[in-house]
Amino acid sequence: MLTSVHLVLVVAFAVAHGLVILRALLVDGRDPMSRAAWVLALLLLPGVGVGLYLLVGEPHLARRLRHRSVVVLDLLAGRVQATSQASAAARDAVPERFRPAFRLCEALARCPTVGGNAARLATDSDAAITAMVAAIDAATSTVHISFYIWLADNNGLKVVEALRRAAQRGVICRVIADGIGSRPLVRSRHWRDMGEAGVRLQSALPVARGALMFLGSRVDLRNHRKIVVIDNRITFCGSQNCADPAFRIKARFAPWVDIMLCFEGPVVLQNQLLFASDWMAESGEDLTEVLAVPPGPARPGGFPAIAFGTGPSSPRGAMSDVFVALLGGAEREVVISTPYFVPDAPLLAALVSCGRRGVETTLILPARNDSWAVGAISKAYYPELLAAGIRVFEFHGGLLHAKTLVADRCVGLVGSANMDRRSMDLNFENNILLCSEATAREIRARQDAYLADATEILPETLRRRSIPRRLWENTLTMFSPVL
């Protein structure tokens, strides 16, 4: 028989369990699939499920940080708009079918589409770091850097040393590194060395300890952005973290294959806005004067572009909406590369619609994924994608980490956002949407290089899948909203 103490504990847990399930059902605005997945997890794993829900069940930011994020972005966006050129001419240069996607990004960025931009595509990850270091060494006023993962390896330390040199010659350098993704660097002597050289440092979304974990921001909600802005003059945007392609923390999946572009023109100030909003929300330092500087001059013959960010403070599903708008505008061809493919219902429907209406739709994913769950869930969607006429390829040259979308060889999207629930609902992400046949052609050429080292998934391959494997992959999709 249960003792009175045991009985009290059982009743208390049952009440707590019931309250957590009730909470999962009562949260407004939640995707029905996410709600169902959490209730299922709580019923099947009551003990573990309650703890997980309290930690990661809702995309909550600490109240102070959420308030600051909204206020700061509104304030800074007003400054950027005041110094930006009118967007009508820039947006008019975009094919009409893609203008809804640009207008959506304008609403998220609180800034207009701007014309007169130029971009250079780095040949590989090492070349991108070399270009960043050269730009830092040429900086005269400010260097602003934000990375999700920053390793103390060859490339990581090249940037560390460049920042120290810049700070020592009087350039104001500010660095944001995610509190989990870059934790080894933040705790290392290299971080302290940068601070001693005069670099201003900020660890993003640091994780509280003990009971405070349940009171602060959601533990796995991260700043996934990759932003480099030099002198309000040039900016880098893409998928690359500050690390070697060997990526020694997950070396067995190496090399990590990324894409990074260097932009010049008015869009630079919009990427500066994203950095400044994160910096002010985290540190409290006022950067309005940095954004009061007029944007870089429009480049003759430059293209329209807009830099925008998404995160927990954005409307739910904002990043998915951008993907859907671009897919809806495509008439001839869409090519996508992403390492993590766990689409929500609207994104999956938009992809299937592309294939069914005759748009040549190609999806490139890594053959080996560093997330076993995401890799399995991605494969569960293959039959539906192939049935709609979408071609799916698996890349064998390492972990394909590049996040790219090119539609009709004229519109391109690059940045940090994956096609998974984390990027679409949880993490802070940054992307640049552009309209340029020349730049889109360069990104497509890079995508073709991925395809040259990839194997197409054919219907007969899927038919050979074992029943246990199909059962495993399809079962995992039920829990994809909680992963």
CATH number for the domain that contains residue 203: 3.30.870.10
Last residue of a domain, one of 39, 56, 73: 56
Residues 195 and 258 reside in one and the same domain: yes
For residues 317 and 417, the answer to whether their CB atoms sit within 8 Å is no
List alpha helices for 235-311, DSSP H.
267-283, 288-291
243 closest CA partner among 95, 399, 11, 449: 399
Average pLDDT, the chain: 87
Residues 256 and 277 reside in one and the same domain: yes
- Residue 187 C-beta-side C-alpha neighbours within 13 Å: 7
Residues 291 and 205 reside in one and the same domain: yes
E strand residue ranges, 184-331? 200-204, 227-230, 234-238, 256-257, 260-264, 303-310
Last residue of a domain, one of 247, 278, 306: 306
Q: Is residue 312 part of a domain?
A: no
CA 193 to centroid of chain Cα atoms: 29
Q: Is residue 19 part of a domain?
A: yes
Q: Is residue 311 part of a domain?
A: no
Q: Is residue 357 part of a domain?
A: yes
Position 366 scores a pLDDT of 98
What is the rounded CA–CA span in Å between residue 152 and residue 191? 10
What is the rounded CA–CA span in Å between residue 336 and residue 419? 10
Which run of H or E residues covers position 117? strand 114-121
Residues 43 and 129 reside in one and the same domain: no
Q: What angle do CA 193, 430, 88 make, to 5 degrees?
A: 130
Residues 352 and 234 reside in one and the same domain: no
Residues of the chain with pLDDT under 70: 1-3, 5-6, 8-10, 13, 24, 26-34, 38, 49, 51-88, 208-219, 478-483
Position 184 scores a pLDDT of 95
- 353: which 2 tokens? 């619609």
CA distances from 54 to 41, 49, 63, 175 (A): 13, 9, 16, 31
SS (H, E, C) the chain: CCCHHHHHHHHHHHHHHHHHHHHHHHCCCCCHHHHHHHHHHHHHCHHHHHHHHHHHCCCCCCHHHHHHHHHHHHHHHHHHHHHCCCCHHHHHCCCHHHHHHHHHHHHHHCCCCEEEEEEEECCCHHHHHHHHHHHHHCCCCEEEEEECCECCCHHHHHHHHHHHHHHHCCCEEEEEEECCCCHHHHCCHHHHHHHHHCCEEEEECCCCCHHHHHCCCCCCCCECCCEEEECCCEEEEECCCECCCCCHHHHHHCCEECCEEEEECCHHHHHHHHHHHHHHHHHCCCCHHHHCCCCCCCCCCCEEEEEEEECCCCCCCHHHHHHHHHHHHCCCEEEEECCCECCCHHHHHHHHHHHHCCCEEEEEEECCCCCHHHHHHHHHCHHHHHHCCCEEEEECCCEECCCEEEECCCEEEEECCCECHHHHHHCEEEEEEEECHHHHHHHHHHHHHHHHCEEECCHHHHHCCCHHHHHHHHHHHHCHHHC
Tell me which residue range forms the domain holding 14: 4-56
Residues 257 and 359 reside in one and the same domain: no
Q: Amino acid identity, residue 246?
A: A
3-state SS assignment for residue 151: coil
**Domain count across the chain:** 3
Which run of H or E residues covers position 454? strand 454-456
Residues 261 and 362 reside in one and the same domain: no
- 186: which 2 tokens? 């933040």
CA distances from 462 to 154, 351, 383, 459 (A): 41, 19, 7, 5
Residues 209 and 153 reside in one and the same domain: yes
What is the rounded CA–CA span in Å between residue 88 and residue 94? 10
CA distances from 258 to 210, 403, 454 (A): 36, 8, 15
Last residue of a domain, one of 274, 306, 338: 306
Which run of H or E residues covers position 119? strand 114-121
Residues 280 and 373 reside in one and the same domain: no
Residues 282 and 413 reside in one and the same domain: no
For residues 307 and 237, the answer to whether their CB atoms sit within 8 Å is yes
CB atoms closer than 10 angstroms to residue 12: 10
Residues 226 and 84 reside in one and the same domain: yes
What is the rounded CA–CA span in Å between residue 377 and residue 295? 43
Q: Is residue 221 part of a domain?
A: yes
- 96: which 2 tokens? 């009409």
Q: Is residue 313 part of a domain?
A: no
Residue owning tokens 């992809």: 351
Residues 48 and 117 reside in one and the same domain: no
Position 161 scores a pLDDT of 98
Q: Amino acid identity, residue 252?
A: R
Q: Is residue 124 part of a domain?
A: yes
Q: Is residue 34 part of a domain?
A: yes
pTM value? 0.88
284: left (phi over 0), alpha (psi -120 to 50) or beta: left
Which pairing describes strands 256-257 and 399-400: parallel, antiparallel, or unpaired? parallel
